Structure 1
């Protein structure tokens, strides 16, 4: 590596999404956790969260190179019968967060703009409640209780256990972006899906947010 360091690189901050929550990777965070009405219409997703800007820099002389964190590949929540593969979710061209495709409703997604689960900061996993194809991965997430275990396994086979500290159902019109996606000194995890009653168009009006910390 050249001794010259590249200029700091800042991640784009995702903007509040206004689209629908469809289980499609091409779906914007407005397509957050996919939720469909009884008629199969994708429900609107909550606004995307603000991601803390991260500056990239090379290792200093004499400092051992740190092994990159392994990507998460599975999330399991035994208490509510959830065990699902994870796909990577990035940002759309308009700055909103992607969501899993509708035809992969039983697959959740890890937002790569935030830390890897187990690293310092708030890791975010998004999953649909339902899609036009039926029940989806986080359909029963509403039944999770404080103190429940959430296990995230990475590509190296290492599992990290998180304990649920709180849950909240919030209107998509007042999604707590900074609270969910913003920086934190601890090793946190947030799970997000759709929740609440349906509006006149058959779209869930709320998002369910599960907060957890590394054991």
Structure 2
């Protein structure tokens, strides 16, 4: 999908950064074959991907998200395990290890039949799929964020540097803070994205943080990979 030119720059490069986020997103009670596809379109230059550093590090380029129409997630058929919380929308995301502190915006299906994106000019905003599991609820909650924007480095620029055991705190509208613990951080080729592994429903409360990654291919104007953080609900407390 072609992305618009960066405002005010006739020499800026354009980039279409496609993230395959689930051509086969299968919920146990959903119709066979129904899936979800998130597409990030990056405009400008590839992100300056470096190990964690002070948040002032520079890296231009925006991301943009759209998706094939997903369906709401029913409760999993498998027996429930582990801690879980009732449904409540997320309001803020904090990841201390990579200095993330950002509000949420819900991602829903637009008039085009695709999932709308967080604003491409907002570098400090997380999006969550509002028709799936909410963070802390049983199932795999999906959170997506930009790597970079027209105004510089964005919320998930350093996502790939998270390590197992790192914590992700999500404040919810019901006044609770759900703390997730990172299990793995993996990079997948977009050509071989493991849809079922990332999107399959789960009997416990899990979280997926997803963004672009890998090399930036100038010829196809696209990042080659996706970075996915797999995490599970570890605890909850009052905000």
Tell me if both proteins adopt one fold, taking TM over 0.5 as the criterion: yes
The two structures have a TM-score, normalised by structure 2, of 0.66
Check the 8 A contact 1:129/1:136 in 2, yes or no.
yes
The size of the alignment, in residue pairs, is 182
Map 1:51-66 → 2, pairs under 5 A: 53-54=73-74
Preserved contact between residue 151 and residue 162 of structure 1 (Cα < 8 Å):
yes
Residue 205 of structure 1 aligns with which residue? 224
Scaled by the length of structure 1, what TM-score is found?
0.73
Distance 2:145 2:169 in 1: 15
Deviation track 1:187-206 (CA, whole Å, cap 9, x = no partner) reads 10000011010112442111
- 3-state secondary structure, aligned to 1:173: helix
3-state SS of paired residue (2:97): helix
Q: Distance in 1 between matches of 2:119 and 2:86?
A: 28
Cα distance in 1, alignment partners of residues 71 and 106 from structure 2: 16
Distance 1:49 1:213, change over 3 A: farther
Residue in 2 that maps onto 1:60: none
Distance 1:196 1:49 in 2: 26
Q: What do you get for the CA RMSD once the two structures are aligned?
A: 3.1
Q: Does the CA-based 8 Å contact 1:35-1:194 persist in structure 2?
A: no
Unaligned regions of 5+ residues in structure 1, if any?
1-8, 17-28, 56-66
Secondary structure of residue in 2 paired with 1:142: helix
The residue number in structure 2 matching 1:30 is: 39
CA contact (8 A) 1:37 1:202 kept: no
Rounded Cα–Cα distance in structure 2 between residues aligned with 1:97 and 1:152: 22
Structure 2: tracts of 5 or more residues without a match: 1-28, 47-59, 76-84, 235-239
In structure 1, distance between residues paired with 2:226 and 2:134? 22
3-state SS of 2:121 partner: helix
Give how far 1:91 is off. 2.0
Cα distance, 1:211 vs. partner? 0.3
